[in-house]
Amino acid sequence: MKHDDEIRGRFLDLALLRRFVPLLRPYRRGAITGFALLPAISLVRTLEPLCLQRAIDNSLLPGRLDLLWPIAALLIALLLAEAVLVFSQSWCVQVVGQRVMADLRRDSFAKLSRLPQRWFDWQPSGRLVTRLTNDVEQVGDLFGSGIVSAFGDVLTMVLVLSVMLSLHVGLTLVAFAVAPLLLGVLLLLRRPMRSLMRRLRAQTAGLNGFVGERVNGMAEVQIFGQEQSSAEQFEALQQDYLSAALSWVRWETLFYASVHLFGSLAVAAIIWQGGAQVLGSHISFGTLVAFIEYARKFFMPLTELAAKFSVLQTSNAALERIFALLDEREEAAGMLSLPSGPGRVAFEAVHFAYQPSEPVVRGLSLEVAGGECVALVGETGCGKTTLAQLLLGFYRPDSGRVLVNGIEVQQLTRESLSAQLGWVAQEPFLFHGSIRQNLDADGRYRNDQLWAALERSGARTLVERLGGLDVAAIDSRGRNLSSGERQLLSLARALVKQPQVLILDEATSHLDSDSERRIYQALQGLSGQCTRLLIIHHLALAARLADRILVLHRGQLCEQGSHQQLLAQGGRYARLWAIQTLQQDREKGNA
């Protein structure tokens, strides 16, 4: 699969432009004004040297001071007009650029929340952050300092060239004798500069990714003594970046210096040839001065334009990446709602693999009756969490069906899924903010409902200690809470919805046995209202709580029944049980 970061922008990409222009539609007044002011700016800029010419030829040289004032006044008026026009034009364009950026960021973020989990499995989060920040910023440049000002630069150059030709064809040709050379240099520099720009981008992404990962795992870095090796890896990455950045500086300076040099050469050629013409009285001195000014006015936008070449290219690549994100295939959301009552769950011959070569669920079928409490046990990595994720609709089975109340999970509306399926993840994630924001982001529940859920999950005292529902008590990812406290709060978050199906994935693994016992007692109170799927390693607990135990082995259901039935079968469950009880007996003996 081609990685998005390999997308290489082109200087002018009409297909992309066609898709970009409609983004401007809501701000068309600003955009059109920004464009419309450009000819006026170019015109004013072209008129200024003509004023200078008149001032010299008609007033300064003949010694007519009386004629100088009106021309000087006109020149000042032109300069003022230029300032006002440039300000207004730039304001319009920048405002439009910022607004388009805000829209793109909003759309991209909204898109992310609609993409399937499978997509996130292979997306490093650092790249996605880059997409919403750097890339969007570059698209802002595309409009702000890209297309619009490129258009203005070309317009100015065309106007300047026409005036120069109308003043003196010969001298114009002299001034532009250097143009082919300049063009050659620009073409020569273009390729290395473009590949450097790409290298820089890739290295920035690499550096960001590395820093992000190490910051998250700083405790591991410190305790496993990886400071030195981390620093070395970072240094290697940053040396690569530095060498690319230095090459970039070298080429960029060379680029500006050569454009400058050719501009000065053109002026020198004008003075040399034009000076002779003035002395031979073929042209006026004012015309010569105007020519020098025009040459400057021509080469300045040319430099800008050449510099913009790379801006346009990277902006186009960024835009292409953003469009690629916006075009990512969403899994069509279902249209059906769950009928009320505790949910019946069924897996019918489900096959599933995260990677095609490694099947995780292999032809699994099972049924859970409405209101039943089922424990799912099996050794590490056998696919328990995967089954939960399939039931939650995060992944789509490769074949077979996953049903709740007879409706395929994929056919349920998002609202139905999120309202009727409660889930406590194996590694629960809490967001920065208050308890209320974590339990009830949309403000759907009353305080007494929230407290009831907290009571049931055993988190009431914790929340009281933290200062209540509305204190911003939770740090990013819930890092200021213990793992057990995170589990209690995420259990409350699942319970407050009063879901039809409740899936607890090792949801009490971090709790002390007393808290664990109290929670499961509370959950037994839900019997008949809600179907419970408990993923549990602790078999004694499973035996006590569950109406039925399902034993999973390598993605297949190998045994099922009550604790006693399974023990009597003498199969895998009986062996697992024997190992666990033996272990516990040993521990007791040691104690």
Q: Under the rule (CB under 6 A), what is the footprint of ligand ATP?
A: 121, 354-355, 360, 380-386, 426
CA 52-58-61 angle, to 5 degrees, is 90
* Triad 191, 193, 199: Cα angle to 5°: 105
508 interacts with Mg ion by CB under 5 A: no
Give which of ligand ATP, Mg ion, none residue 507 binds (C-beta under 5 to 8 Å, depending on kind): none
Q: Which is nearer to ligand ATP, 295 or 409 (CB)?
A: 409
Angstrom distance (rounded) from CA 90 to CA 293 = 24
Q: How many CB atoms lie within 10 A of CB 431?
A: 13
Least Å from the CB of residue 408 to ligand ATP: 21
Q: What is the nearest approach in angstroms of ligand ATP to the Cβ of residue 489?
A: 20
Q: 426-455: which residues touch Mg ion (CB under 5 A)?
A: 426
Residues with Cβ within 8 Å of residue 586, at least 6 apart in sequence: none
- The DSSP bridge partners found for residue 347 are 366, 402
Written as six digits, the tokens of 441 are 């982001």
Q: Letter for the amino acid at 247?
A: S
Tokens of residue 356, six digits: 């095609």
Binding segment toward Mg ion, per CB under 5 A, in 242-250, 422-430, 436-444, 477-485: 422-430
Nearer to ligand ATP, 192 or 400 (CB): 400
Instruction: Answer with the entry of Mg ion, ligand ATP, none that 151 interacts with (C-beta below 5 to 8 A by kind).
Output: none
CB nearer to ligand ATP: give 117 or 253.
117
The whole-angstrom separation of Cα 87 and Cα 100 is 20
Shortest approach of Mg ion to residue 505 CB, angstroms?
6
Angle between the 28-54 and 65-112 helix axes, to the nearest 10 degrees?
160
Q: Does 385 bind Mg ion (CB under 5 A)?
A: yes
Least distance CB 519 / ligand ATP (angstroms): 19
Cβ proximity to ligand ATP, 117 vs 133, nearer residue: 117
Amino acid at 275: G
For the CB of residue 333, give the shortest distance to ligand ATP in the complex, in Å.
22
The encoded tokens of residue 475 equal 């740090």
Cβ proximity to ligand ATP: between 163 and 535 the closer is 535
User: Cα separations (Å) of 551 from 390, 412, 454?
Assistant: 17, 28, 31
Residue 386 contacts which entry, ligand ATP, Mg ion, none (Cβ below 5-8 A, type-dependent)? ligand ATP
Closer of 310 and 389 to ligand ATP (Cβ)? 389
Kindly give the pairing relationship between strand 556-561 and strand 399-404: unpaired
Closest separation between CB of residue 376 and ligand ATP, Å? 9
Per partner kind, with CB cut-offs from 5 to 8 A, the member of Mg ion, ligand ATP, none near residue 263 is none
Is residue 500 involved in binding Mg ion (CB under 5 A)? no
Nearer to Mg ion, 46 or 385 (CB): 385
Residues 171-200 within binding reach of Mg ion (CB under 5 A): none
Contacting range for Mg ion; rule: CB under 5 A; set: 74-82, 151-159, 378-386, 558-566: 378-386
The pairing of strands 501-505 and 421-424 is parallel
182 or 382, CB closer to ligand ATP?
382
Q: What is the DSSP annotation of 456-502? A: HHT-HHHHHHHT-TTS--B-GGGTTS-HHHHHHHHHHHHHTT--SEE
Task: Give the pairing of strands 548-553 and 373-377.
Answer: parallel
The residue ranges that bind Mg ion (CB under 5 A) are: 385, 426
